[in-house]
């Protein structure tokens, strides 16, 4: 059974204080690993797809990296508007289309 | 700006009543997902379709839930009869590939 564990559950940062969120996964092969951002009262917003170990993707202050066992979402010099819950999900080739989500990390960035 | 549209946004109903949630996926996306989100269980995949054909509905309680795609512009999720434990936010998402683009959700409360 595919499993995704995200840590920490909650993270509080000061504006400008860089940090990383972790997503550990167990999957039978990896079709893709996905990062989403979710604001309160809204649906998750797609951020990145990573397909293979060593791959990196960047968007503004966010950079996602992937190894064979985990993914990191690095946040550089965060701003208050980066406050949200960040969700990680994986898909196995045998379950094409079916993503398993982690419980998320809730990030709060204080000005 | 293409987006997934869900109606209604909020629904309060009495136990035993039928509930129908509707979704208009993004034009051109051939995969449509229904997810349920609760504090306790996080995001759970209920069902998904590819090219309007149901691929997996193993996440749904079969006796009370049904999901259909009458045409490429409409997906529906029905609960009959509804129960208090069905209270949750229901998300529809669509995608051209493995990543999902989510709607704003339907917040269902069954009293």
Read off the CATH number of the domain in which A96 is found: 2.60.40.10
One-character DSSP codes across B17-86 = --EEEEEEPPTT--EEEEEEEETTTEEEEEEEEETTEEEE-TTS-TTTEEEEEEETTEEEEEESS--GGG
Residue in the structure block whose two tokens are 């629904």: B11
Residue B57's pLDDT is 87
* CB < 8 Å to B48, chain A: 97-98
* CB < 8 Å to A34, chain B: 98-100
Beta strands A56-59 and A62-66, pairing class:
antiparallel
pLDDT digits (tens, 9 = 90+) for A19-39: 999 999 998 888 899 999 999
Which residues of chain A have a Cβ shorter than 8 Å from any chain B Cβ? 31-32, 34, 36, 42-46, 49, 87, 89, 91, 95-99, 101-104
pLDDT digits (tens, 9 = 90+) for B3-12: 999 999 999 9
Question: What is the domain count for chain A?
Answer: 1
pLDDT digits (tens, 9 = 90+) for A71-98: 999 999 999 999 999 999 999 877 667 8
Q: pLDDT above 70 covers what percent of chain A?
A: 98
For domain B5-110, give the CATH superfamily: Immunoglobulins (2.60.40.10)
Residue B73's pLDDT is 95
Which residues of chain B have a Cβ shorter than 8 Å from any chain A Cβ? 4, 31, 33, 42-43, 45, 48, 50, 55-56, 91, 93, 98-105
> Domain range spanning residue A72?
3-110
- Alpha carbon distance A29, B73 (integer Å): 33
- Alpha carbon distance B92, B78 (integer Å): 13
């Amino acid at each position: 059974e595919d499993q995704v564990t995200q840590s920490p559950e909650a993270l509080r940062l000061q504006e400008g204080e860089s940090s990383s969120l972790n997503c550990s996964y167990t999957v039978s092969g990896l079709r893709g690993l996905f990062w989403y951002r979710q604001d309160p009262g809204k649906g998750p917003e797609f951020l990145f797809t990573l397909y293979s170990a060593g791959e990196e993707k960047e968007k503004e202050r966010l950079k996602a990296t992937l190894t064979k066992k985990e993914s990191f979402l690095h946040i550089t010099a965060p701003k208050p508007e980066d406050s949200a819950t960040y969700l990680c999900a994986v898909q196995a080739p045998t379950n094409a289309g079916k993503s398993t989500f982690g419980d998320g990390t809730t990030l709060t960035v204080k000005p | 700006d293409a987006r997934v549209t869900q109606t209604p946004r909020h629904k309060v109903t009495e136990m035993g009543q039928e509930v129908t949630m509707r979704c208009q996926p993004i034009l051109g996306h051939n995969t449509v997902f229904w997810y349920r989100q609760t504090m306790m269980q996080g995001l759970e995949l209920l069902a998904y379709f590819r090219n309007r054909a149901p691929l997996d509905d193993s996440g749904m309680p079969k006796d009370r839930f049904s999901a259909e795609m009458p045409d490429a512009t409409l997906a529906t999720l029905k609960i009959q009869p509804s129960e208090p434990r069905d209270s949750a936010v229901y998300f529809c998402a669509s995608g051209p590939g493995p990543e999902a683009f989510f709607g704003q959700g339907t917040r269902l409360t069954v009293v």
